[in-house]
Amino acid sequence: MLEKLKEDVFRANLDLVRHGLVIMTFGNVSAIDRSSNLVIIKPSGVSYDTMTVADMVVTDLTGNVVEGTLNPSTDIQTHIALYKAFTTIGGVVHTHSAYATAWAQAGESIPCLGTTHADYFYGAVPVTRRLTTEETEKDYEYNTGLVIAEVIGKRDPLTMPAVIVNSHGPFTWGETPDKAVHNAVILEEIARIAAVTVSIAPQRAIDSHLLDKHYLRKHGTGAYYGQKK
């Protein structure tokens, strides 16, 4: 099971490059094996061009390396905080994709202005509060995960599978690493569309009935989008 998950994480990291969401050594994808509570993540600072499956790093839920010869991504503690907070997720992605990061640097949530957004995210994609000096100086990466969980609150994290961290960038998640990457791709597109929209004219949020229709026809028990399995 762990070997298959390593392959999934490796391929998901390469998908970030394929979709144009990362440059150089930016970004990371991880997955968790809930049966063993082990996390697999991209190594820190290793080029996507040379990275192999064997480079994937396995840690426990405190961040201790249990398998692998390289250091895990510096964001490992953020991923761990999210896996602890959101028990239904199986994969986490972090990028510095341009438009989502622009919203983060502006310190603004990505407003839900139309149905393209509503198909994937049930409302505005929230931005976190700024970290305090103390939160930045001690346990910075773990505290980043905590402020993400804080802004999600009691919502189902699978209905809002993305947050933009104030002054930093986007994190997305899903039931699998592939789904987390999918959400990162969609997040960047809706961030781009929203930025263009508000540059044309001030906008108000999508009508709630239209948001409900578009989100719920693709998600939940009454969904009817796509083909029956």
The C-alpha atoms of residue 187 and residue 104 are separated, in whole angstroms, by: 12
**Catalytic positions:** 119, 225
Question: 38 — phi, psi (to 5°)?
Answer: -110, 140
Question: Are the C-beta atoms of residues 81 and 146 closer than 8 Å to each other?
Answer: yes
The C-alpha atoms of residue 89 and residue 1 are separated, in whole angstroms, by: 17
Question: Are the C-beta atoms of residues 72 and 59 closer than 8 Å to each other?
Answer: yes
Q: Bridge partners of 110?
A: 125
What string of DSSP letters covers 31-79? EEETTTTEEEEPBTT--TTT--GGG-EEE-TT--EEE-SSPBPTTHHHH
What burial letters (b/e) apply to 117-146, b meaning 16+ CB within 10 Å?
A: bbbbbbbbbbbbeebeeebeeeeebbbbbb
- Interhelix angle 177-200/98-106, rounded to 10 degrees, is 60
Tell me the CA distances in angstroms from 197 to 113, 162, 184, 190, 204, one per residue in order.
8, 20, 20, 10, 11
